[in-house]
Amino acid sequence: MTEQDALPVKADPVLDGELVDDTLPQPRPREPQRSRFALWWRHSPRIPLWLKSKPQAIQAGKDAVVWVLRSPWRYLGAVVRGLVVGARWWRGWVTVRDYRTAAEESEKLADKFTEIRALTLFRWKMTGVVLAVVAVAAALVGLVYGSDPLWIGGALASVALAILGRRKDGSPGRKPALAGPRTLTWTMDPQVLVDAFRDAKLIGKDETLRLVERATRVGDGWAITVDLPATRKAADVVKNRDALASALAVDEVQLIVERVRGNGGHAGRVSMWVADEDPYTSPPLRTPLLGVARWDAWRPVPFGRDARDRRIDLPLVWTSLLVGAIPRQGKTFAARLAAAGLILDAWVRLYVADFKAGKDWDAAGQVAHRFMSGDEPEHVLALVGWLVELVEEVQGRFRRMRELDDVTCPESKVTPQMSRDSALNMPVTAIFIDEVQVPLEDRTPVEVQGKKLTAGEYVGELLTWLAKKGPAAGIVLVLATQRPDSKTIPSGLRAVLGSRFALRVMDWRDSNIVLGEQMNTRGFDSSRLLPSHKGVGILRPDGDTAAGADVVAMTVRTYYMPNEDWQTICQQGRALREAARTLSGHAAGQETPVLDRVDVRAIGAGGGLGAVRPADELPEPLPAIVEYLGDDLEPDGRVFVPTAEFAEALGVEPRTFAQQMGELGCRPTRDRVTSEEGKTRQVRGYLTAEIRSAIDRARRGGEAADEPDRS
């Protein structure tokens, strides 16, 4: 060991401690006194609201400045009213009005006339003496003490007159015979708001309101929150919004009444917003999508602005949308706004069917996987093919989801990552159908798995199925119609459409068909919208918006997107798809005949689709009839065949046979036949000319239900 090793070395400090187990519950630290004071300050009813909230303090400061600026004019008005009240009181006193009125009521005016006249003359003299004394006293004071005492006396007199002329309920001479403007007077006088609720019969005469949040400026209007009396419901206020608007002297489009929900609300708390003027008279704003390079379909699409000028975004993924209106109210513009956000997402696959047969949707052909424009039966049958294709796509997606792990697919729903994975092939797919009443009302017969029904019925069944199961698989359904009635759109389909947008319609029934049952009783009726309000409608969203997740519906003015902007967005969407290599179908020039790949056989194809049916594919019972009659079916063969003969030869039940022939357009008739015994009798049967016509229609694909040519 060296000498250096033997030297002492300074050791590290020794720490004293104990092992602490973090898993054990720790004692709750004592709440600081400052936090307890802050909690008391926020919840104490003795502390004014403007000392608790910064926005309320700012508003209180603004109100104070306004009060200071208006005080001279309000004081002058009070002095003038005091002079008027004083002059009215003096006139009643000097003319002995009370004495005269009592004499008139007792019918002794003639007996008391002399006394009344003498008393009136005496009071006029007293008035003159008082005025003279006051004038002399004022002159002496001015000579002895100067003008200062006179100014002080005048100021005191004005204060007395202002007190006499102050606005106070029940004071004489302050209520005009005809009330003046009531618009927004409640912002300065809360009693006016209480009276408005009473006039609208929303509260009783002896009931009042409790102020939760004072009237503050929000946008171009005033907002206030009040609590109703016990047992009164906010839903009744929303329902009778028009009565409250009348009591406040504003149009109902200027008044927004909402029930406050969640932790900060209850069934009797009402939030009101009153616009200074009609919020929909200004020019509409252009869609903000023009200023973006791309959009994410999983984000809500910018749709419009509400009366408070808040931007309202419309969620589309995992839901569906129904747009209804009478013609020329902005229905197509609203549907195109929903499509614009999806077009700017390169991973979205689009199906566009324009049954208006105009040019409104033509620009979408640049990006659409499937596109058509027309209103003929062949277009309806093409739509049937699209819908069957989508049904098969949804079923295939659900089968593939079952094979994915829980990390990739946490539940049976398409996720944003899945929709952008080209290997999974599950992109968000949106189908837009404008004038959906055209295919839903189409009467072209189709045969589906042996069942015969019209194309419109089949379209309704397919749309209902897609609206039920499609959203979870990434299918977005957007339907627009100018015929919002119960016959056009089946109730089963309307019941499963998540989001609704109703522009102006004819009456409250049509509004309820678009928005949902009993929505008019909840204060939402699009038939009350003004004709001048183009693009203004009531939105019932399926998801959260700027107005809050608990808002049932709201009035929205859609953004303005003319054709040039629409074409710009479609061109930008095509460029995005070309860059991402997601252009497909119609847009890529790869149109495939959908009808050749679906399990739907058209009985009445017509229209140049070329659906000619072979003889062995004739509908029953035509094949058996052709085989039985043979050459007798030729024009030079038999003319009439009895029903009983068909029933015996074909082995069919007469009633069933008659029903089948009726569906083919063959109507039974009566004719005379001669039996083997030589007897002639009248029987029911069918003309072979009608049977030949039915066979020709079936082979050509013509409509079997048409009336046959009996010539």
How far is Cα 457 from Cα 386, in angstroms, rounded to an integer?
A: 15
Burial grade of 108 (CB within 10 A; 0-12, 13-18, 19 or more): exposed
- 9 pLDDT more than 70: no
Average pLDDT over residues 42-55: 72
Task: Retrieve residue 365's tokens.
Answer: 């052909």
Please list, in sequence order, all residues whose beta carbon lies within 8 angstroms of the beta carbon of residue 637, skipping any fewer than 6 positions away. Answer: 629, 631, 688
Angle 591-592-595 from CA coordinates, rounded to 5°: 135
Average pLDDT over residues 501-515: 86
Please list, in sequence order, all residues whose beta carbon lies within 8 angstroms of the beta carbon of residue 35, skipping any fewer than 6 positions away. Answer: none
- 412 pLDDT more than 90: no
Average pLDDT over residues 558-568: 91
Q: Which of 412, 370, 289 is nearest to 585 (CA)?
A: 370
Place of tokens 């100018």: 482
Q: Which residue has the higher pLDDT, 167 or 29?
A: 167
Average pLDDT over residues 369-386: 90
- DSSP SS3 for 559: coil
Spelled out in words, what is the top-level CATH class assigned to the domain 185-275? alpha beta
Q: Which residue has the higher pLDDT, 18 or 489?
A: 489
Question: Which DSSP symbol is given to 320?
Answer: E
Q: Which residue has the higher pLDDT, 625 or 36?
A: 625
Task: Retrieve residue 372's tokens.
Answer: 């058509």
- 546 pLDDT more than 80: no
Average pLDDT over residues 249-277: 84
Q: Which residue has the higher pLDDT, 584 or 103?
A: 584
CATH number for the domain running over 288-588: 3.40.50.300
**Residue ranges per structural domain of the chain:** 54-164, 185-275, 288-588, 610-700
Average pLDDT over residues 582-589: 88
Q: Which residue has the higher pLDDT, 362 or 112?
A: 362
Q: Tell me: the pLDDT tens digits for 430-439?
A: 999 999 999 9
CATH number for the domain running over 610-700: 1.10.10
- 109 pLDDT more than 70: no
Instruction: Provide the mean pLDDT of the chain.
Output: 79
Task: Retrieve residue 48's tokens.
Answer: 């004014």
Q: How confident is the model at residue 13 (pLDDT cuts 50, 70, 90)?
A: low
* Helices of type H across 282-376: 331-343
Q: Which residue has the higher pLDDT, 107 or 607?
A: 107
Cβ contact 297:347 at 8 Å? yes
Predicted pLDDT of residue 463: 93
**Winning range, highest mean pLDDT, from 187-191, 217-221, 273-277, 598-602:** 273-277
Express as a percent the part of the chain with pLDDT over 90. 18
Q: Tell me: the pLDDT tens digits for 600-646?
A: 444 333 333 333 333 345 777 888 888 777 777 777 678 888 888 88
- 80 pLDDT more than 60: yes
How far is Cα 164 from Cα 86, in angstroms, rounded to an integer?
A: 8
Predicted pLDDT of residue 340: 94
Polymer length of the chain: 711
- 201 pLDDT more than 70: yes
Q: How confident is the model at residue 577 (pLDDT cuts 50, 70, 90)?
A: very high
Indicate if 610-700 has the same CATH topology as 185-275.
Answer: no
Strand (E) positions, 167-300?
A: 210-217, 221-227, 255-259, 269-275
Task: Retrieve residue 415's tokens.
Answer: 């996720």
Lowest mean pLDDT among 176-180, 199-203, 357-361, 544-548: 176-180
- 31 pLDDT more than 70: no
Q: Tell me: the pLDDT tens digits for 492-506?
A: 888 888 899 999 888
What is the number of other CB atoms lying within 10 angstroms of the CB of residue 93? 13
**Winning range, highest mean pLDDT, from 178-182, 348-352, 539-543:** 348-352
Q: Which residue has the higher pLDDT, 199 or 548?
A: 199
- 242 pLDDT more than 70: yes
Using only C-alpha atoms, the chain has a radius of gyration, in whole angstroms, of 42
Tell me phi and psi for residue 670, to 5 degrees: -110, 140
Predicted pLDDT of residue 596: 36
How far is Cα 255 from Cα 269, in angstroms, rounded to an integer?
A: 16
Predicted pLDDT of residue 591: 63
Q: How far is CA 461 from CA 669, 679, 705, in A?
A: 37, 54, 22
pTM: 0.60
Q: Which residue has the higher pLDDT, 416 or 111?
A: 416
